[in-house]
Copies of this chain bind each other. A is one copy, B any other.
Amino acid sequence: MDFIKDYALFLEKEIQNIKFPSSPANLYDPLSYFLTLGGKRMRPMATLIAGDLFGASLEKTKFAALAVELFHNFSLIHDDIMDKAPLRRGKITVHEKWNENIAILSGDVLFVKAYELLSKNDCNHLMPLLACFNRTAVEVCEGQQLDMDFEQREEVTLDEYINMIRLKTSVLLGAAFEMGAIIAEASEENIQNIYSFGVNLGIAFQIQDDLLDLYGESDKVGKQKGGDILADKKTILSILAKSAASEAQKTELINLKYESNNELKIKRSLELFETLNVKENCTLVMNEYYSKALKSVEDINVNNSKDKLLTLFQILKQRQY
């Protein structure tokens, strides 16, 4: 587990080394602010681990790792505008602290900075890295659009939901691993396997996020339990509930939208979810993706130890909030 701390320290130092000009302040101050809000740095960590697995040093993979992290932060800044989110990682969002125009534009410039970092890679790696990065960036935008589209729809199927989270969040984790493997010049098959590992892990992680919002030890971090229910958000829980519900139960689930008593709203949702086996069914789906991820690890053909990959897997799987 020590490598996790080492990698995290390495990344924080590298992120702090990304210097922005002082002017125009309204363009660059939001970026310095946002990048210091922290976060798990799971994606750049993935790039470093994949590189290490196939024999590339941290120094060689760091630019791609940082590019992924900057892209992720760019997408968060823009998503926060679209979601009208007041807080990110417990701190005030860019569009709230400054304004929407500044959040749009500083997001844009952060996106370019991601490409700048990516462009620091050797010429022979740059083509496949760009292909991976561009493809993924498009998919992330598609996922965000589907997410917004789904909020306007009454019915969303499980497959549609999984596809949405795959695009919105999981392909970036897959791409983060893939880019480390590309730089380490892993075989095509290994690149594909570590990408699949990341995507399936990402999907499981996102499902777990939905589960933890209602069933996690969220009081530990001061987050409100059932925040998704109170925000009437479409999650895998609400989708599984609806798909298993009788007509009467479905009607009640839909009408809970209008319940203004928060405690009652969560209590009644929990009761319905229990009757409908939502937690168990959701856990089954989640574990299916964790298993797929592990299968991809097995499929990776390499002499080096896969321990770091498996450690990251365990850390993500075991979180309780």
Could you tell me if B145 and A26 are in contact, using CB atoms closer than 8 angstroms?
Answer: yes
Q: Do B131 and A112 have beta carbons less than 8 Å apart?
A: no
For residues 111 through 129 of chain A, which have their beta carbon under 8 Å from a beta carbon of chain B?
Answer: 111-113, 115-116, 119, 123-124, 126-127
How many residues of chain A are within 8 Å of chain B by beta carbon?
36
Is A134 interfacial (CB-CB < 8 Å)?
A: yes
Which of A100, A102, A124, A144 lies at the interface centre, i.e. has the most chain B CB atoms within 10 A of its CB?
A: A144
| Identical chains bound together, number | 2
Chain B residues, Cβ within 8 Å of A148: 26, 101-102, 105
Q: Which of A159-215 contact B (CB under 8 A)?
A: none
**List of B residues within 8 angstroms of A302 by Cβ:** none
A259 within 8 A of B: no
With A26-B145, A81-B104: A119-B127 Cβ-Cβ less than 8 Å: yes
Contact of A134 among B27, B82, B116, B124 (CB under 8 A): B116
Interface string of A273-304 (1 = CB under 8 A from B): 00000000000000000000000000000000
- Among A9-17, A32-40, A48-56, A135-143, the stretch that binds chain B is A135-143
Q: Are B130 and A105 in contact (CB under 8 A)?
A: no
| Listed A/B pairs (24) with beta-carbon separation below 8 Å | A24-B142, A24-B145, A24-B146, A26-B148, A27-B145, A78-B104, A78-B108, A81-B101, A81-B104, A102-B145, A104-B104, A105-B148, A106-B141, A108-B108, A109-B141, A109-B142, A112-B134, A112-B138, A119-B131, A119-B134, A123-B123, A126-B126, A126-B127, A126-B130
Known: A112-B134, A123-B126. 19 other contacts (CB 8 A): A24-B146, A24-B149, A26-B145, A26-B148, A27-B141, A81-B101, A82-B101, A82-B105, A102-B145, A102-B148, A104-B104, A105-B141, A105-B144, A109-B138, A111-B111, A112-B141, A113-B138, A115-B134, A116-B138
A positions within 8 Å CB-CB of B: 24, 26-27, 78, 81-82, 100-102, 104-106, 108-109, 111-113, 115-116, 119, 123-124, 126-127, 130-131, 134, 137-138, 141-142, 144-146, 148-149
